[in-house]
Amino acid sequence: MKVLITGATGFLGGKLAQRLHSMGYRVTAVGRNKAKGMMLEDQGIRFIQVDLSDAQAIMSLCKGQDYVFHSAALSSPWGKYQDFYSANVAGTRNLIAGCEQHQIKRLIHVSTPSIYFDFTDRYNIKETDPLPEKPINHYAATKLLAEKEIETAFKNGLAVISIRPRALFGPDDTALFPRLLKANDTVGIPIVDGASALVDITYVENVVDALILCMTAPQNALGKKYNITNGEPLALIYIFEEIFRKLGKTMHRRNISYKNALRIAKMTEVISSTLLFGKEPVITCYSIGVLAKSQTLNIEAAKKDLGYTPRISIAEGLDLFVADWRKKNHD
């Protein structure tokens, strides 16, 4: 069985490529990071360095594949709209065209719960709940447009399933906890309104489980989107404290109110836009909102339709991350 994985040099795509390869699938990993691609090749995984904007190359890569996993995206709270559109919308459109032409069995698409965020506390969000009138940033806006491309493809007869995984963590992550630890060593951890916001985080291998379940999910799952989390909402401050406790490190807190943090973020955004030629600011309004506002997702649909069950708990996942971090950083 042959599978194509876009975004395979990213965190989730790389883990998926490794898992499917270990299960005996013939994996073609697609990504832009040649160094990480070579690491996959060292493990016996075929790697092709290509950009999703290259429609002809993507069309060619889809030929002969059975399943396509689309985890590639430009993910950032800041940047030019055209860059996000090219990567997240046009790239998805190119991939869909390749899947349609070569009659792929299923296209499994990785979307985002960022489309739910609206600077308010939201709990137990279902996939069918109303979305904000205006997406929070260019990333959310273009990922929502990508979902619409997927919806159109389904109406045209392509077998598709989408997942919306929330805040991935685990060994080899370069974003969530590594950024937290870097902030702790430099400016300190911003504790906005006591970091009491209730949030979901998700161990990466649980998301890989969900993606693999999408390959054999029943017909009634086609065309749908599924929230994927660990199903263990926790206060942000608890997660922070657990990480530093397990690492045996002191957490350097910077207590600040949401109102003041948002005011500073707005100032930095204006300065970045006007004086720094669009350079990404140190903090954004979105990042402050994520730290201050609760957002939890309902995963009952994934449990019912996909048979998804979070296999690795947050506590276990944190232990695995910490062990990997210590090994790599000689702690």
* Lowest mean pLDDT segment, chosen from 10-14, 161-165, 170-174, 279-283: 279-283
- Predicted pLDDT of residue 330: 66
Domain holding 46: CATH number? Answer: 3.40.50.720
Q: Is 45 within the bounds of a domain?
A: yes
Residue 241, in any domain of the structure: no
Task: Examine residue 304 and state whether it is found in any structural domain, yes or no.
Answer: yes
Mean pLDDT of 256-269: 92
Does residue 315 lie within any of the structural domains?
yes
pLDDT at res. 279 = 81
Task: Please check whether residue 29 lies inside any domain of the structure.
Answer: yes
Average pLDDT of span 178-206: 93
How high is the pLDDT of residue 148? 98
User: What is the domain extent for residue 73?
Assistant: 2-235+290-329
pLDDT for 281? 78
CA atoms within 13 A on the CB side of 88: 25
Has residue 69 been placed in a domain?
yes
Give catalytic status of residue 139 as yes or no: yes
| Model confidence, pTM | 0.95
Please state, for a pLDDT cut of 70, what percent of the chain lies above it.
99
| Number of structural domains found in the chain | 1
Q: Please check whether residue 250 lies inside any domain of the structure.
A: no
Assign 3-class secondary structure to 149-200: HHHHHHHCCCCEEEEEECCEECCCCCCHHHHHHHHHHCCCEEEEHHHCCEEC
pLDDT value at 289 more than 90: yes
Does the pLDDT of residue 165 top 80, yes or no?
yes
Element spanning 69, H or E: strand 67-70
Q: What's the confidence (pLDDT) of residue 7?
A: 96
Among the listed residues 25, 67, 116, 139, the single catalytic one is 139
For the chain, helix (H) and strand (E) counts, in that order, are: 13, 15
Q: For residue 76, how many C-alpha atoms fall within 13 Å in the half-sphere facing its CB?
A: 13
Please tell me the number of Cα atoms within 13 Å of 15 on its side-chain side.
19
Q: Is residue 185 part of a domain?
A: yes
HSE value, Cβ hemisphere, 13 Å, CA-based, for 300: 5
Average pLDDT of the chain to the nearest whole number: 94
Which amino acid, residue 79? G
